[in-house]
Structure 1
Amino acid sequence: MRRLSTALVLSVCFQSVVSAGSDEREDLLALLDRATELATKSGMNANFVPGMATILSGDDLLQRGARTVWESLALVPGLSLGLEMTGERQVLSRGVGHGYASGNIKIMLDGISMNSSLLATANSVLDIPIEQVERIEVIRGPGSSVHGEYAYAGVINVITRKRERQVRLQAGEDMGSGLGAIWYWDDPQRDLSLSLNLAGLESDDAGVRISEDALAALGESSLSNAPGHSNEAQRYKAAFTNLQWRDFFLDLKLIEDDYGDHFGINHFLPPADGNLATRQELVSAQAGFDPRLSETLSAKLRLEFLRQQRDRRRLYVFPASYLADEPIYMNQDYQETRHRGSADVFWRPNDEHTALFGLELSRITIEQAKWEWTNLPFEIPSTWLDTDHDRTIVGLVAQDEYRASDRLTLTATLRYDDYSDAGSMLSPRAAAVWRFDASNILKAQYARAFRPPTFYELEYAAQTDLEASEIDTFELGYILTRPRWEARATLFHSDLTDPILFAESDDEGYVNSEDVRLRGVELEYVQRLGTRWKIDANLSYVDAVRPDSDTAVPGGARWLGNLALLWRPHERWTAALQLNYIGERSRVDYESRQDLDDSTTLDLTLNYQTAAKGVSLHAGVKNLGDTRVYYPDILTSYGGVELIYPDGYPRAGRRWWVSLAYAF
C-alpha cells in the first residue's frame, strides 16, 4: 500500500520536479515525506489515509514562529487553544474540549499515549519546545477505533528529533530562555543507532496584567492582588533517548514541567512571586520489537511503563483575611503508574488486503493522592482521591484495508475495549478513499469514539452512574493536487452522546450533560508563487450546539483561520508572516456576560540557514500588533456567587524571541 501511495504522488510531481527550482523541488518532494501510521497503523501517505490527517513539519513550524507544541496546534484547521485557571493547557477540536480538569484529545509522544487517567490531559507534551520536534501528526475527529480511550475529538502524535547533531540557545521576552542539544550516533554495519535529545528552559514570567479578579464580584477588592500580573513562571526540562538495533528499540523519556498558578484556582489572583505552584513529572520507557514473521506476516510488539506525578506546592487558594488571618495555600501530591503491553499483527495475503489484528492490556494504579492546607481554619481529610482505585483495560482491534481497485481503497475497523471500572465500549469505523486520477481524491468516513470518565471525574461525580461519552462522526473530504498548489475541503457532522462536564449547581460535580451536535467545514490551501513566495492558508467553521436546549457549546469559536506568507529572497534567508484569526467564543451559557470578541494576531519571523551543517538562526516577534487576546475563563462559584474574570483570561501582547543553533 505504501508503494502504491508513493507511486501516485510521484506521478503527480515528476514532470514538475524535473524543471522546478530548488525551492519548488523541496515542496514537491516533501509530499513523499507525508507517510503516517496514525490513522491505520499500517503506514501510508497522509492524502490516502481514511479521514483528514495534518502533518506539521518541525522546521516549517520554526520558520513560522511556533514556539511549543501547544502553539503549533493553533495552525491546524478546526483546532483552537484554551487554558484552565491554574495554567493547564487545553486544545479544542471542532469546538469540543473546554472545561475544568478534563481532556478530549489523545496526545501521544513518539507513539506512546501520554494522557493521564487522572485528568485525561498531557500538559508536559504540549509544552515541548519546537526545537525538539521533528513533526506533529494530527487527526481531527474520532480515532478510538485504532487508538482507544480519549481519541475522542482528535489524535495528536508528537515525533521528536533523532537523526541530528546540534547544540542550541534560545531566549525570549517572557517566553523562557535556555539550552538544548541533540546527538546521534549510528553503526550501519551493526544496524545500531543511538540518539539523545535534551532541553532546559526557565522563565520568571510575571504574566499579563490583571486589573480586576473575582474578589471584586464579592465586594472584597481590598483583599485582592489586583491590579497586578498573573504568575506564569515556568521551568521545563526534558531528556529523550532512543536506542535501535535491527528490529528492536528502547525508548526512554523524562519530562519535568513546572509552572505558576496563573489566575488562581478560585479566580483570586495569586501573588506574582514566581512560585512554581504545579510540578508535573513524566517518566516513560518503551521496548519494542518489529519482527518479519513471513512473507505475509509481520508484527509490532510493545511493552510500556509510564509514571506521571502531579504535585502542587503553595498553590494560592484564598487571600489573607478572607477565611483566615493569613493567606491559605494548598500542597497536593498525586502519582499514577501505567503498565501496558500490546501486540499488532499485520497479514498481507495479497496486494488487495492488509489486515490488522491487535491486542492491548493496560493496568493503571494510583500510588499517591494526598494534600494539606496551610492556615485553613478547619480540618479536612488528608487524602483527596481513593488510592485503592485502579483500572484494568483490555482492548481488541481488527481492521481490513481492502484495495478494491487501483483507485478505490476501503477500510473497515472495529475495536472493543473493556474497563474494570467503566464498562465496555465498541468503536467501529468504515471509510473509503477514491482516487479519481493522480490529482483528485475523494474520502468518506463514519467513525465512533469514546471517552471514559477519568479518576478525578469518578471521584467528584454528582451522579453515581457516570457513563462514558461517545461521539459518532460522518466526514466527506476532497483533495485536489497540482504541481504548484494543493487544496482540501472537509465536511463533517458529529453527534456527542452524554458528554462529561463539571456542573456548577447545588449538586456540584461531574455529570453526563445533554447531547451535542457539531456541523462544519474545513478548507485548506497551499500555493507556491514562483520560486520565492509561498502561501499556506486554512479556514474552518463549526456550529456546536445542544439541540435540546438550543444553546451554544461554550469555549469554542465558530470561525477559525490561518494565513501564512513565506518569502525567500535568498537561498539562506526566509521571512514569514503568520496571521491567526479566532472568531467570537461562547461562554458558559448561564453567565450574564456576552461572548468573547474575535481577535486577529500577526507574527513575524526571520530565518537564516547555512548548509545542512552550520549555523541557523530563527528570530521573531509574536503578536506584532499588540492585540488584546482573551481565552474563555472556566466558571467557578462560591456561596452562590459567580467567581469570574470580567474579560476572561488575558494573553500576552507583543514580545520577541530568538533561537540559535549550530549543527555538526
Structure 2
Amino acid sequence: MHRTMLYAAIAALLTLPSAPLLAAPAPHTPELDDVIVTATRTAVTVDESLAPVNVITRADIERLQARSLIDLMRGLPGVSIANNGGPGKATSLFLRGTESDHVLVLIDGIKIGSATAGNVAFQDLPVEQIERIEIVRGPRSSLYGSEAIGGVIQIFTRRGREAGVTPYFSATVGSHNTREATAGVNLNGEQGWLAANLAHADTDSFNSCRGKPSPGGAGCFTYEPDDDPYRNSSASLRGGWRFSDAADIEANVLRAEGRNAYDGSFVNESLYREQVVGGKVHLLLSDSVNFNLIAGSSQDYSDNFSNGVFVSKFDTQRDNYTAQADIGLAKDQLLSVGADYVNDDVDSTTAFAESSRDNTGLFVQYQGKAGRHDFQASVRNDDNEQFGSHTTGGLAWGFAFSDSLRLVANYGTAFKAPTFNELYFPGYGNANLQPESSRSIEIGLRGDGAGGRWDVHLFDTRIDDLIAYDAAIFAPGNVDEARIKGVEASYAVDLAGWALNSSLTLLNPKNVSSGFNDGNVLPRRARQTGRIDLDRRFGDFGVGATVEAAGKRYDDLGNNTRLGGYATLDLRADYAFSPDWLIQGRVSNVADHDYETAAFYNQAGRTYSLTLRYQPKR
C-alpha cells in the first residue's frame, strides 16, 4: 500500500503546473570546481551544500602527483584507510569511523562494488582515469538507499573542456620497477563531445606480508618472502550530444583489469576486472521541470589462484536504473522525486543458496531558502527482495550569520543490507540476518574570508544490529552496536604565495555492545588523522609537500593487536619546460618510516617517481 501511494505522489508531482525554476539544475550545468551533484542529487555549489563535502579535481591529482586513490584520500576529513600491503592489495576505507562497507560508491552515477564481499576495490580504480571525486560525509540513505551510513563517494571519469581536439599523454617510472603510461584525447564541438583514455601501470612492488614460517607462524598464515607484483590496464570512454537546450544524452564506460599477487594460505594471485557502463538522458520538460533517466551496469570479477592453480571465481554484476524529476515550486524552492532499481547477480564456483536479489527505492527531497535560512528534507523507502521495506529520512538546516560565516545542522537515518557472503556463504552465512541501521546528528560552522577558508563539524553516530561473528551460532549475527563520536576540521589559505590545505579528524569509534568487546575501539580506525598539503609556484617551477599522520589503532575487535601511529612526509617538484610539457618528480615517505595500517601488512618505504606529461594549453 505504501508503495502505491508513493507512486501516485510521484505521478501527481510530475503533472504540477509550471513555476519559475531557480533552484533546479539547468541543462548542461557545468562541472565547475565549486559545483557538486552528489550531496543532494542536484547541482549545488560547495558553499550551498548543507552536508560536509570534499572535492578532488583533475588539477589536484596532477599537482599532488598521486599514484593511487589511497594517495588522494588518506588523511582527508573523516577518512581512515587500511591497506593490505601496497599497490593493488585489498584496501578498506572507513568514513567517519563506520564500517568499510558503509560507504556507497558511484562512478558517473552508477553504483559499484562487490555484491559478495560488500566493499569496493579502490585499489583497482586508476587515478589516470579520474576527472573528479566528490566525497560527502554523513548518512545519505534517504537519497541513495543501502550502504550510505558513513557517506557517499562519487567518481567521475575523465573529460576535457577545451574546444576542439586535445591530445595528451604521460609516462612514469619509479621505485620497485614501476612503469606507468597514459594516453588520451578530448574532442569538444558545439553540440557533442568525446573523451577517450588508455592507461597502464606495472610494478614489481614489495613483499606484502611479513608473515613468519611455521611453527609459530603469524600474520597471513603463510610465509612467502617475495615481491608481490601488480598490473593494471584500463580504458575509459565518455561522450555526449546536445540535441537542443532542452535535451541531451551522455554515455560512459570504464574498464580496468589486471593481475595481483599477494601472500595467502589459500590463494595468492588474482586476475580481476572492474567495469562500469552507463548512460544518461536529460530533458527539460518545462521552465520548471528537469527530468533525468540513468541506466547502467557495474561488474566486479575475480579469478583466484594458488601458486598458478585455479581455485575459485567470484563474479558479481549490479544493474542500475534511475528516474528523477526536479520540480521548481517557486523561487528558491525545489522538489526532487525519483525511483532507483538495483539488481545484484552472483556467478561463482562457490554454491550460494541465493545468487540474485533486487531493490526498489523511492525518494522525495525538498530544498528551500527563506532569508538567511536554508532547509533540506528527504525521505526514502527501499523495498528489498530479501528484507522487505525499510524507510530512512534526513533533515538539514543552515543559517548564514553573514556572507562569510554559516552554521549547519544535520540529522539522518541510514541502513545497510547484509552481503551475499554474510547471508549465504556455505558453512558461514546466516540467512536470518537483518539490515544494520544507524542514526546520526551533526553540527558544523564554516567561515570564508581574508584569513582563509575553514570549517569544523561535530558528529555523533549510533549503529544498531552491526553484523559480527556470533560464537553462539558459529555464524554472523546482528550482535554488535557502535557509537562513533568525532570532530572534523579543515583550513585552507593562500599565504605569501603558498597554498596551504589542512585537515584534522578526532574520532572515538567505540563498540557499545554488551559482552567481551564492550568499550573497545572499532578495529583498523585511527582515532586521530591529519594531513597538510603545501604548494607554491615560482614561474615555471612548482614545489610541494604533504604530511600525513595517523594515531594508533587496533587490528581486532578485542583490541589485543595494537598498531602504532605514524607520520609520513612526501616531497614533490615540477618544471614546465614549455607551455605544453611538464616534468614532475616525487619522493614519498622521505624518512623511510616503517608502519602498518593492517597488522603484518607492509607499507612502502621511501620511494621515487618521475613523470613526463604532455597536454597542449589553449
Partner of 1:16: none
1:610 Cα deviation (Å)?
A: 5.9
Q: C-alpha deviations, 1:429-477, integer Å up to 9, x for none?
A: 0001222211011110001111101111111355442111112110111
User: Pairwise CA RMSD of aligned residues?
Assistant: 2.8
Partner of 2:539: 571
The answer to whether the aligner puts 1:153 opposite 2:150 as a matched pair is yes
Partner of 2:348: 369
Mapping 1:189-338, distance limit 5 Å: 191-207=191-207, 210=210, 212-213=211-212, 215-217=214-216, 225=223, 228-229=225-226, 231=228, 233-246=229-242, 247-261=248-262, 263-265=263-265, 277-314=269-306, 331-338=311-318
Partner of 1:557: 526
Give the conservation status (yes or no) of the 8 Å contact 2:169–2:182: yes
Letter in 2 for 1:451: K
Give the conservation status (yes or no) of the 8 Å contact 1:62–1:131: no
Indicate the SS of the match to 1:51: coil
Letter in 2 for 1:38: T
Give the conservation status (yes or no) of the 8 Å contact 1:315–1:331: no
Question: Could you say if the C-alpha distance between residues 314 and 2 of structure 1 is closer, same or farther in structure 2, counting changes exceeding 3 Å?
Answer: farther
Give the conservation status (yes or no) of the 8 Å contact 1:209–1:230: no
Indicate the SS of the match to 1:61: helix
1:143 Cα deviation (Å)?
A: 1.6
1:70 Cα deviation (Å)?
A: 2.6
- Rounded to whole Å, the distance in 1 between the matches of 2:593 and 2:508 is 26
The answer to whether the aligner puts 1:487 opposite 2:488 as a matched pair is no
Question: Could you say if the C-alpha distance between residues 464 and 493 of structure 1 is closer, same or farther in structure 2, counting changes exceeding 3 Å?
Answer: same
Partner of 2:325: 345
1:394 is aligned, of 350, 360, 380, to 360
The answer to whether the aligner puts 1:622 opposite 2:575 as a matched pair is no
Give the conservation status (yes or no) of the 8 Å contact 1:70–1:127: no
The answer to whether the aligner puts 1:545 opposite 2:510 as a matched pair is yes
TM-score (norm 2): 0.87
Give the conservation status (yes or no) of the 8 Å contact 1:106–1:156: yes
Give the conservation status (yes or no) of the 8 Å contact 1:142–1:154: yes
Report which stretch shifted further, 70-79 or 286-295.
70-79
- Rounded to whole Å, the distance in 1 between the matches of 2:61 and 2:238 is 23
- Rounded to whole Å, the distance in 2 between the matches of 1:134 and 1:95 is 27
- Rounded to whole Å, the distance in 2 between the matches of 1:542 and 1:353 is 36
- Rounded to whole Å, the distance in 2 between the matches of 1:610 and 1:252 is 34
The answer to whether the aligner puts 1:656 opposite 2:608 as a matched pair is yes
Letter in 1 for 2:291: A
Mapping 1:382-461, distance limit 5 Å: 383-386=350-353, 388-405=354-371, 407-460=372-425, 461=428
Indicate the SS of the match to 2:432: coil
1:524 Cα deviation (Å)?
A: 0.5
Report which stretch shifted further, 532-541 or 126-135.
126-135
Indicate the SS of the match to 1:146: helix
Partner of 2:4: none
Partner of 1:135: 132
The answer to whether the aligner puts 1:117 opposite 2:106 as a matched pair is no
Q: C-alpha deviations, 1:382-423, integer Å up to 9, x for none?
A: x3434x521111110100001122x21100000111110133
Question: Could you say if the C-alpha distance between residues 658 and 310 of structure 1 is closer, same or farther in structure 2, counting changes exceeding 3 Å?
Answer: same
Q: C-alpha deviations, 1:188-241, integer Å up to 9, x for none?
A: 1xx01111021111122233573x4373435999x9646x2452x111111111
Structure 1: any 5+ residue segments left out of the alignment? 7-29, 271-276, 317-328, 371-382, 634-647
1:502 Cα deviation (Å)?
A: 4.4
Indicate the SS of the match to 2:591: coil
Give the conservation status (yes or no) of the 8 Å contact 1:362–1:394: yes
- Rounded to whole Å, the distance in 2 between the matches of 1:251 and 1:497 is 38
Partner of 1:602: 569
The answer to whether the aligner puts 1:185 opposite 2:187 as a matched pair is yes
Question: Could you say if the C-alpha distance between residues 356 and 578 of structure 1 is closer, same or farther in structure 2, counting changes exceeding 3 Å?
Answer: same
Indicate the SS of the match to 2:61: helix
Give the conservation status (yes or no) of the 8 Å contact 2:396–2:409: yes
Mapping 1:570-589, distance limit 5 Å: 570-589=538-557
Report which stretch shifted further, 179-188 or 341-350.
179-188
Question: Could you say if the C-alpha distance between residues 122 and 462 of structure 1 is closer, same or farther in structure 2, counting changes exceeding 3 Å?
Answer: closer
- Rounded to whole Å, the distance in 2 between the matches of 1:455 and 1:126 is 22
Q: C-alpha deviations, 1:54-106, integer Å up to 9, x for none?
A: 112232233234211232111311211113589321101222336xxxx2211
Partner of 2:14: none
Q: C-alpha deviations, 1:117-144, integer Å up to 9, x for none?
A: 1122221x54333333222110122121
**Number of residue equivalences:** 575
Question: Could you say if the C-alpha distance between residues 257 and 153 of structure 1 is closer, same or farther in structure 2, counting changes exceeding 3 Å?
Answer: farther
Give the conservation status (yes or no) of the 8 Å contact 1:65–1:603: no
Partner of 2:3: none
Mapping 1:72-111, distance limit 5 Å: 72-83=72-83, 87-97=89-99, 103-111=101-109
Indicate the SS of the match to 2:410: strand
Give the conservation status (yes or no) of the 8 Å contact 1:209–1:229: no
Indicate the SS of the match to 1:165: strand
- Rounded to whole Å, the distance in 1 between the matches of 2:547 and 2:177 is 20
Report which stretch shifted further, 53-62 or 573-582.
53-62
Structure with greater strand percent: 2
